[in-house]
Amino acid sequence: MITPYLSSILSIFFAFGALNSNCPQTQNLLGVRGPIVFEKTSYNLSWSSHPSATYYKHEYLAKGVNPDQYKEMFMIEFLADEEASPKNMALEKIGSTKDRKKIDPYAFAEGLKQDKIGNDVLINFIQSDANGKAAGIVEWNTYRYIKTTTKEGKKGLLLLAISRRGYGKSIPAFLSKIKSQKSTTAAALAMFKLPEISLK
């Protein structure tokens, strides 16, 4: 069962919350060594946030990328709550994405992989900014939720994520490209070495 507190945090673990150019905070709050290299692309820390006592968020972009028009973003997030469940978090994300189908024709989510006890869970999902009108942005994400412990011994939930976007007239070509690469990307994220977390 997901507690009301956890449900409020789940709303923070939400795509389309990544346009943070108006809040140029770039402290390394998680103590993660950079840059992050994923599928041969190097990502540098571009923005960070500590919106609550237990929640930390890092966003990474390739050098020179405008955060308001990014095509690829890597994310690392940490929730310092030992009761937080990767399996529940993944199910909540899948459920909220499917609920968007009422207003978003692109909305789709699927569970891909999890360990035997649900402490390492991988999902794919797509959503757009359609809201009942034509979409200007379509976003495809692979999220990996992992139960972990920081260097200091604090238990919690780690999110590793890759987000990719298509805009306007390029959306059909973007979706076609995603179909051909999503399996490879999911496999790469599933095998990605977990970063050591040291909260600042």
| pLDDT tens across the length of the chain (200 residues) | 333 333 334 433 445 544 444 445 689 999 999 999 999 999 999 999 999 999 999 999 999 999 999 999 999 999 999 999 999 999 999 999 999 999 999 999 999 888 888 899 999 999 999 988 899 999 999 999 999 999 999 999 999 999 999 999 999 999 999 999 999 999 999 999 999 999 98
**CA-CA-CA-CA torsion for 18, 22, 26, 30, nearest 10 degrees?**
-40
Percentage of the chain beyond pLDDT 70 is 88
CA-to-CA dists, residue 102 to 14, 108, 136, angstroms:
18, 12, 17
pLDDT of residue 115: 86
pLDDT of residue 26: 84
Enumerate residues 6+ apart whose C-beta is below 8 A from 191: none
Taking residue 36's Cβ as centre, other Cβ atoms within 10 Å add up to: 19
pTM: 0.88
The letter for the amino acid at 153 is G
Residue 187 β-bridge partners: none
pLDDT of residue 200: 86
185 three-class SS:
helix
The pairing of strands 155-167 and 72-79 is antiparallel
Enumerate residues 6+ apart whose C-beta is below 8 A from 153: none
pLDDT of residue 132: 80
Taking residue 80's Cβ as centre, other Cβ atoms within 10 Å add up to: 17
110 phi/psi in degrees, rounded to 5: -150, 140
